[in-house]
């Protein structure tokens, strides 16, 4: 199973509302659980896999999956309690625009709607367009362009009013 297929499976499970998915073949077992409490995603490889003609042995990798959809806006803490935070749905490199010569997707003061792209996160040479799940006005960009981001790291503050 390719990494992109695993990523697609995780995205599908998180969007579908299914609580648990288990996939097992002769050489791989994947268990994805979601629910009220954060549960691990378990990925086990029984035998080495071939990637680009080079053997790679993956034994175990674990990452957390929250019960909410990735990039789900959540209320921010501190002084910005009236704002909604758009968070990173994955680990990768944050880009404000589609290319170095292109304009940023959003700037401070821009009005955004649900489904509007706000940034790109590159993970393993895959460029993932992150869309807004809230309508409002961009108040603050919390991450510099071309910098690494972690899973669930705040990216933008949005005024939903």
pLDDT tens-digit map of 150-160: 999 999 999 99
Q: Which tens digits make up the pLDDT trace of 48-70? A: 544 444 444 444 444 444 444 45
Q: Count CA within 13 A, CB hemisphere, residue 17.
A: 0
Q: Which tens digits make up the pLDDT trace of 101-131? A: 999 999 999 999 999 999 999 999 899 999 9
Look up the pTM and report it.
0.52
Q: Which two tokens stand for residue 126?
A: 């895959």
Instruction: Say what the pLDDT of residue 35 is.
Output: 61
Q: Which two tokens stand for residue 40?
A: 């691990």
Taking a C-beta distance cutoff of 8 angstroms, is the pair 118, 151 a contact? Answer: no
Q: Which three-class secondary structure state does DSSP give residue 114? A: coil
Which residue spans within the chain are E strands per DSSP?
A: 20-24, 28-33, 39-45, 49-51, 54-56, 60-65, 74-75, 84-87, 92-95, 111-112, 117-123, 126-131, 136-141, 147-149, 154-159
Q: How many helices (H) and strands (E) does the chain have?
A: 1, 15
Mean pLDDT of the chain, nearest integer: 77
């Amino acid at each position: 199973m390719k990494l992109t297929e695993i990523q697609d499976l995780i995205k599908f499970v998180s969007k579908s509302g299914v609580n648990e998915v288990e996939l097992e073949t002769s050489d791989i077992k994947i268990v994805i659980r979601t629910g009220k409490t954060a549960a691990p995603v378990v990925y086990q490889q029984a035998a080495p896999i071939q990637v680009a003609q080079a053997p790679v042995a993956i034994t175990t990798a674990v990452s957390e999956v929250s019960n909410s959809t990735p990039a789900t806006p959540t209320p921010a803490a501190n002084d910005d309690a009236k704002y909604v935070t758009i968070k990173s749905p994955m680990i990768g490199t944050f880009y404000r625009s589609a290319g170095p010569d292109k304009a940023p997707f959003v700037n401070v003061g821009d009005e955004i709607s649900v489904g509007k792209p706000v940034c790109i996160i590159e993970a393993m040479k895959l460029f993932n367009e992150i869309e807004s799940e809230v309508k409002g006005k961009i108040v603050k960009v919390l991450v510099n362009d071309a910098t690494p981001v972690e899973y669930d790291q705040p990216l933008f503050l949005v005024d939903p009013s």
